[in-house]
Structure 1
Amino acid sequence: MTVLTKGVGLFPTESVETMRSYVQLSESLGYDSVWFGDSQNIWRESSLTMGAAAVGTERITFGTGVTNASTRHLSVLASFWATLNEYTGGRARLGIGTGDSSLRTMGLKPQKLAELEKSVADLRTLFAGGEVVEESSGASFHLGWMPEPQHVPIYIAASAPKILKLSGRIADGVVVLVGTAPEFIEAALKTIESGAKEAGKSLSDVHIVLWTPTAINDDSTEARDLVRAHVSRVAIRPLPAPIDPSLQAAVDRIKETYNYYEHMNTEATHADLVPDELVDLFALAGTPDECADRLREIKGLGVDQVSIVPFVRPGESKEPTIRAFSEIMDRI
């Protein structure tokens, strides 16, 4: 059976010092990874936050959940990640996607899958010390400062079938955002596996990170309320398995009202449109015992890591959730 590790996804909604304290706590509790959200118009700068948070750490890996190659030029992405990897002794994990709120808050469209695939290939070339061509100018460029090649694993964020398959084929790992219900996870893994086979790999060659909005509270209703905003974002994405038709009307209403400037905000207006049935499919939310039961179901599916995105009321610390998840994982 796969050893299930624990990760934490942190959106830079609080000061850099506070984010550093969450990372230090996570490392002390045995977390394997920390993933930082990258959306420059709604959160603090992810690259500065990660660099500061890495100071004094010894073991935990650092990734983005996730960045993109549109707001971040490839040269900037490659230079930052090679630098962070060098500084941390190989603990960098570049999480990338087609672009979401970082682009949509400016009226821009995400990358196409072919563009994402080329970006991943170019990043690997740059990390290896090679040259790539800048598309708009036609000039070649490389990381001239880099004394030696850097191996930076590349993870792709995926939920829809086409990008799940692409991820299995070209990525070192996949940040899977499909909910916590076994039927969605199993469908996603099958799709990733089909892509991996096209590249002569198996599913075991791809590191699977299940990314899930999380709230752990003795009051189940409060826990569900806290994650509704993030659940709304998961539910409106294309998914690897069909959703129950009885829930489709709720999903359609969320799509019509989703506001990217309230992306992942617990107080978002579209959160009120999310019924409990969707929360139970797409989040880890409830009492410690309820969350433990769901994690036991996930543990046998082939996921390598569950990475929680802790949700609390504005002004409250995420520390209790980080501790509670660690305690649950240690006993399942």
Structure 2
Amino acid sequence: MRRIGVMFDRARQPEELIAFAREIEGLGADDLWVVEDLGWAGGVSSATLALGATERLRVGIGISPAPLRSPALLAMELAMVERVFPGRLIAGVGHGVPEWMAQVGVGVREKLALLGETITVVRALLRGETVSLDGQVVKIDGVRLVHPPADAPPVVAGVVRPRSLELSGRVADGTVIAEGQGPKAIAAALGHIRKGQAEQGERPGPHEVVVFTHLCVGDDAERIAELTAPVVEEYTAWLKVPAEDVFLAAGPVATAAERIRSLWDAGADTVVLRPVGEDPEGQVRRVLAELA
């Protein structure tokens, strides 16, 4: 099934979240994704507010930084939310931006080990298991959730680089692929994910691929280029790719919709739109109508 989601941008006022979530649900989107970035907003509290304000939307946390989150506490939080809003939560966990993690004194050198051990522990706790792990980074001794959910929500890894993508294939229920990456990058990422799945030594379970992408709908090419220029500059530096390789769902509505379809065709299960520019809700409305 091809799913479509919308991101509540971190720059928006927190007071806007509830109305935004209701509007996105009314437009027919499948998902709403909230952000947990240092200094902006907490992912679990944001997701809970959005779930409480809606009836059917799945809400994703994209993403909780593993260095900032105790796996036991994160599992407790996710279990509580999942029990109250069953079947409507998906939780992303990632390495965290190194500079931000250093700001709060939680940066670690063993990034792969920390992420893998965190996701492994969180998933096991959500399944109701008693968990002990004397890991490279994570230490936990005989912990069990008193109120685990009936069905564990998916825990997905928000990662970019090859070794982290392989790790996601080994330990997570899915992978979040960041903005700026188009069909070729998704195909390459899937190769790494599948390599990680093969290393499990058993038949892999379902693995959802969630792709974030910037949306900028309009017929004025110069205005589109002006609005998306900061995005292209940021992701050129972060992804270390030429500007022309930064993927955007941008342009007239038919073009934007076709670029979204290209992500599904490349292997994305869920595409999450991050609107850029004026009238984000209007842009989402137009592209959802075109996709329908």
TM over 0.5: yes
Q: Quick one: which amino acid aligns to residue 89 of structure 1?
A: P
- Within the alignment, does 1:298 sit opposite 2:260 as a pair? no
User: Per-residue displacement from partner, 1:75-105 (whole Å, max 9, x unpaired)?
Assistant: 3211111111111112111101011164255
1:326 alignment partner, one of 276, 281, 288: 288
Measure how far apart 1:309 and its partner are.
Answer: 1.2
Q: Quick one: which amino acid aligns to residue 32 of structure 2?
A: V
Partner SS, residue 190 of structure 1: helix
Say if 1:234 and 1:282, in contact at 8 Å, map to a contact too: no
Say if 2:6 and 2:32, in contact at 8 Å, map to a contact too: yes
Structure 1 residues 170 and 327: CA distance shift in structure 2, 3 A: same
1:286 alignment partner, one of 244, 247, 251: 251
Q: How many pairs align?
A: 287
1:23 alignment partner, one of 21, 24, 28: 21
Say if 2:35 and 2:41, in contact at 8 Å, map to a contact too: no
Measure how far apart 1:64 and its partner are.
Answer: 1.1
User: Per-residue displacement from partner, 1:142-180 (whole Å, max 9, x unpaired)?
Assistant: 355416555021111122111111112221111112634
Q: Distance in 2 between matches of 1:165 and 1:208?
A: 13
For normalisation by structure 2, the TM-score amounts to: 0.85
- Within the alignment, does 1:119 sit opposite 2:118 as a pair? yes
Say if 1:177 and 1:234, in contact at 8 Å, map to a contact too: no
2:74 alignment partner, one of 61, 74, 77: 77
Measure how far apart 1:118 and its partner are.
Answer: 0.6
Partner SS, residue 300 of structure 1: helix
Measure how far apart 1:212 and its partner are.
Answer: 1.1
Say if 1:180 and 1:284, in contact at 8 Å, map to a contact too: no
Structure 1 residues 192 and 137: CA distance shift in structure 2, 3 A: closer
- Within the alignment, does 1:87 sit opposite 2:52 as a pair? no
User: Per-residue displacement from partner, 1:82-138 (whole Å, max 9, x unpaired)?
Assistant: 111111112111101011164255476366111111111111222133234588996
Q: Quick one: which amino acid aligns to residue 307 of structure 1?
A: V
Say if 2:131 and 2:140, in contact at 8 Å, map to a contact too: no
The aligned counterpart of 1:5 is 3
The aligned counterpart of 2:162 is 161
Partner SS, residue 236 of structure 1: helix
Partner SS, residue 180 of structure 2: coil
Partner SS, residue 291 of structure 1: helix
Q: Distance in 2 between matches of 1:141 and 1:103?
A: 28
Percent of residue pairs identical: 26
Partner SS, residue 67 of structure 1: strand
The aligned counterpart of 2:217 is 216
User: Per-residue displacement from partner, 1:269-301 (whole Å, max 9, x unpaired)?
Assistant: xxxxxx5x24xx322222212212323433322
81-90 or 228-237, which moves further after superposition?
228-237
Larger RCO, structures 1/2 (Cα 8 Å, 6+ apart): 1
